[in-house]
Amino acid sequence: MKKTSIGGSALIEGIMMIGPHKKAVAVRKPDGEIDLQVEDLPKKSKLFKVPFLRGAYALIYQMVLSIKALNYAASFYDLEDDEKEAKKKKDKKKKGKNKLANQNTLNEQDISVEVDSSVKAEEDTKVEEVKEAESKKEKEDSSLSVWAIALSLLLSLAITVGLFILLPNFLVSLLKLESHTINNLLEGVIRVLLFIAYLFLVTFMKDIKRVWMYHGAEHKTINCYEDDCELTLENVKKYPTANRRCGTGFMFLVLIVSIILFSFVGWYNPLINALIRILLFPVVAGIAYELVKLAGRYDNWLTQAISAPGMLFQKLTAKEPEDDMLECAIAAFLAVIPEDEDDAKW
């Protein structure tokens, strides 16, 4: 199979694909058309080339791009609400115009003038709405400040570390067991159960269900490309929704690596335990990242074993997509394929 480093993430009614040199965001707009935004990526830090250190860097890098892309995709659906409100105003004006036309006190000339004025007002309103939409789109990149991105990033990391790393340790500490081995084992079991429960619960959310479908579209497109097959709708539909380099698999590997690594650092009071786990989190992410890359590069019993849990969890997080979702994924993917065929460089 052809290997690629191109990956992405599902958005609100869209998909982001990240290639070696470019990032593309394809969003299905409320009017049914695809909006495709393509940007050149900044030069990556030298840390991205250092094994194990690059894992933590890649995690932050991906989260920053995802926050920007999510904000961009959401902006279209804010615009949809504005358009609905504008439509209501138009209907109200139309009713007023019809009422005015039926008044016997006006002569034909007055009616004609009133109708012309109303039509002109409607045309002016349309022009203003188009200009407003274009202006909103042009200013999208500046709509999310650096501070807002930083705050969103810190909040996301805090929730992830707090829920899946610190909370299990705190719960086990309440039991006050003497055995360090049992404590670490229980902590790991709670961590995995929380992760499974989280995935299971969010699956019931309507918006998340569609995000999972776009997630499946992303994987299908990548799988088709890696099979060296032309990226057409009919071809992409044939491929599975699971992929070895999925973020779900990465998160599960983070949990497993943390169980193993934390078992070597002992067991102390809750505050020291929390501090140790926060400091070791970049190490855990770095190791998990290298395992995901290994699984994506090779196909043998070891890499299949590494990928197996993540592939299983993708039954929850990567659903069968609709055709219009696949079209978004294909559009975004085609936009980031490098011309020099270096997309397989890891």
pLDDT digits (tens, 9 = 90+) for 280-297: 989 999 999 999 888 888
What contacts 265, CB < 8 A, 6 or more positions away? 276, 280
Query: What does the pLDDT read at residue 342?
Result: 55
- The whole-number pLDDT of residue 47 equals 72
Q: What is the per-residue pLDDT for 113? A: 43
> What pLDDT sits at residue 115?
47
**Residue 60, CA atoms < 13 Å, CB-side half-sphere:** 15
In the chain, which stretches have pLDDT less than 50?
A: 79-80, 82, 86, 89, 97, 100, 104-106, 111-115, 139, 141-144, 344, 346
CA 338/CA 262 separation, integer angstroms = 40
Say what the pLDDT of residue 343 is.
Answer: 54
Q: Does residue 217 contact residue 15 with C-beta atoms inside 8 Å?
A: yes
CB of 68 closer than 8 Å to CB of 144: yes
Classify the phi-psi angles of 13: left when phi > 0, otherwise alpha if psi is within -120 to 50, otherwise beta: left
Contact 36/333 with Cβ under 8 angstroms? Answer: no
Minimal CA–CA distance to 32: which of 335, 323, 233? 323
Q: Which amino acid is at 294?
A: L
Residue 24's DSSP bridge partners are 17, 38
Quote the Cα angle for 345-35-329, to 5°.
45
Question: What is the distance in angstroms between the CA of the first residue and the CA of the last residue of the chain?
Answer: 15
What are the tokens at 195?
Answer: 């992760």
Classified as helix, coil or strand, 266 is coil
Element (H, E) at 7: strand 7-11
Helices (H) and strands (E) in the chain, counts: 12, 4
pTM listed for this prediction: 0.76
